[in-house]
């Protein structure tokens, strides 16, 4: 590949979403923190929390087999890298009154990894 093609390929890959730097394999491990409540993959369904397939671009409280809190239903959020990162950091700050009881993750790298992993279930 010549330099220009390399540059174009690089900017395409890194521009596709903000957290492209995330590591999918590490994100899979980090997802263990979510997996007690959330499912992903072909057989995912609502459990303690809603399933998270195709979460990016999905409006909050959109899955049919899960009973969301009023706070989540009324949040008006459409999940993106940015607001999902903020939600993982501190759920109650993004959706006050959410019933997701999660202390949050402060490590930016781990959040980026998690988002990269979730992007594989589009």
Q: What residue ranges bind ligand HEC (CB under 6 A)?
A: 33-34, 36-38, 48-50, 52, 55, 60-63, 68-69, 71-72, 79, 84, 88, 98-102, 105, 114
Residue 71 Cβ, how far from ligand HEC at the closest point, in Å?
5
User: What is residue 97's three-state secondary structure?
Assistant: coil
Instruction: Output 28 or 99, the one with its CB closest to ligand HEC.
Output: 99
Closest separation in Å from C-beta 3 to ligand HEC: 38
CB of 18 to ligand HEC, least distance (A): 16
Of 116, 86, 117, 118, the closest CA to residue 104 belongs to 86
Structure tokens at 107: 């490590």
Instruction: Give the torsion through C-alpha atoms of 117, 118, 119, 122, to 10 deg.
Output: 140
The DSSP output letter for 36 is: T
d(CA 103, CA 58): 23
Q: Is the CB of 14 or the CB of 101 nearer to ligand HEC?
A: 101
CB-nearer residue toward ligand HEC: 15 or 96? 96
């Amino acid at each position: 590949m010549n330099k220009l093609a390399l540059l174009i390929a690089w900017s395409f890959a890194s521009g596709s979403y903000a957290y492209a730097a995330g590591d999918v394999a590490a994100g899979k491990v980090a997802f263990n923190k979510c997996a007690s409540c959330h499912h992903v993959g072909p057989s995912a369904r609502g459990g303690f929390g809603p399933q998270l397939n195709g979460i990016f671009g999905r409006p909050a409280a959109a899955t049919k087999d899960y009973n969301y809190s009023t706070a989540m239903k009324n949040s008006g959020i459409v999940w993106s890298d940015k607001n999902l990162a903020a939600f993982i950091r501190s759920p109650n700050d993004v959706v006050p009154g959410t019933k997701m009881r999660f202390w949050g993750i402060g490590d930016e790298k781990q959040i980026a990894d998690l988002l990269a992993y979730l992007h594989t279930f589009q």
